[in-house]
A and B are shown apart, each in its own frame.
Chain A
Amino acid sequence: MTTEPSAFRQMTDAGLLAAAAAGSHAGFAEIVSRHYQPVYRLVWRMTNGGADAEDVAQEAFVKLWKNPAQVREAGALKGWLMRVAANAVVDRSRKPRAGALEEAPEVIDPTARPDAPLARAQAARLVDRRIAELPERQRLALSLVYFEGMTNIEAAAVLEVSVDALESLLARARRGLKDSLSAEWRDLLGGLAETGQ
């Protein structure tokens, strides 16, 4: 008996993992549709927008497919994928990258006035760059909590540290980011007010 793809959409992660363990590609495709986007976003941020972000994010899912039973708590599947992806990033960070934000030339808007609030794209680029300059673990903590909306407890589990240690990483990340953006901080907030957000 085969399960309809629509039935997988109703399943919990635990059910999908069981289906994947039984070799169901449709069940695994549902896991991919649920979790690929956040895993990719995390990897993108961790690799500073590197060209190999997709490959690294894929690695986490391939590892899961090979042995779905290695996820002990199905409820924490997203966290497991995040952890595996983050570890893959750390492994790859030892190799030279191509096309990362750090090496990409900065695009300067010729129409921009020096005293004008930062343009949206320029502001995004600046914030991305400053985040990319944070130490790896601080960047990971910041990404999990502020960009992926994880609780401190969930993020601490991904990083395999205590909640206190995670809060310390977050505090250092906040301070580091604020220091590195101190010159543009008001502009960034002003640009925000201008866009009406």
Chain B
Amino acid sequence: MEQDNNRSEERELRAVLAQASQPQLPAGAADRLMARIAAEPQAGRVIAFAPRAKAQRPFWRYAAAVPLAASLALGVWLGANGRMDFMMPNAVTGGVALNDDTPVDDLGGVGAAYAEESTT
């Protein structure tokens, strides 16, 4: 019953709407459109990627480099004049490392063995 009513209402509505104007394209509309199209360039098929804007680096970003550079310079200076040698291992700063005149056996003992052999 309700469906029949709906169908009847729908039919009536369509009948009423059928009386509305049926606009037609104005004469020459397609030609005018194509003339406009002829004047319009198509978008390129290559997508242009705009370079990313360079981020502004804040000045204080470089402030951390100052104490680092100062620390490096101090280290070099202290190392060069030997004032901090007492803190270093003896093997690095002691007499053996710095003043030993004994020839170094680069051959790891083979040289000495060879020398002994040649004397006999």
B13 within 8 Å of A by Cβ? Answer: yes
**Can you sample 11 A-B contacts with CB below 8 Å?**
A29-B34, A32-B33, A37-B24, A45-B23, A58-B33, A69-B45, A127-B19, A185-B12, A189-B16, A192-B16, A192-B18
Could you tell me the distance in whole angstroms from the C-beta of A151 to the nearest C-beta in chain B?
15
Number of residues on chain A facing chain B (CB within 8 A) = 43
Q: Could you say which of A33, A49, A69 contacts B30, with CB atoms under 8 Å apart?
A: A33
Contact call B12/A189, Cβ cutoff below 8 A: yes
Within 8 A of A (CB), among B1-34: 9, 12-26, 29-30, 32-34
Instruction: Report yes or no: B20 in contact with A192, Cβ–Cβ below 8 A.
Output: no
Taking Cβ atoms with an 8 Å cutoff, the residues of B that contact A are 9, 12-26, 29-30, 32-34, 36-38, 40-43, 45
A99 to chain B, nearest CB (A): 13
Interface centre among A44, A123, A125 (most CB of B within 10 A): A44
CA distance A65 to B23 in the complex (A): 25
**Is A178 in contact with B37, judged by CB distance below 8 angstroms?**
no
Which of chain B's residues has its CB closest to A129's CB? B20
> Of A23, A25, A65, A191, which contacts B19 at CB under 8 A?
A191
Is the CB–CB distance between B37 and A62 below 8 Å?
yes
Q: Which residues of A (50-102) have their CB < 8 Å from a CB of B?
A: 53-54, 58, 61-62, 65-67, 69
Q: How far is the CB of A21 from chain B (nearest CB, A)?
A: 8
State how many angstroms separate the Cβ of B14 from the closest Cβ of chain A: 7
CB neighbours of B42 from chain A (8 A) = 21, 23, 65-67
Q: Is A10 an interface residue, CB under 8 A from the partner?
A: no
Pair A189/B15 contact, Cβ less than 8 Å: yes
Contact A28 B37 (CB under 8 A): yes
With A21-B42, A44-B23, A189-B12 given, name 18 new contacts (CB 8 A). A23-B42, A28-B37, A33-B30, A37-B24, A41-B22, A54-B26, A67-B42, A67-B43, A120-B19, A124-B20, A127-B16, A127-B17, A127-B21, A128-B20, A128-B21, A131-B17, A188-B15, A189-B15
A137 contacts which chain B residues (CB < 8 A)?
A: none
Cβ distance B29 to chain A, nearest Cβ, rounded Å: 6
A174 within 8 A of B: yes
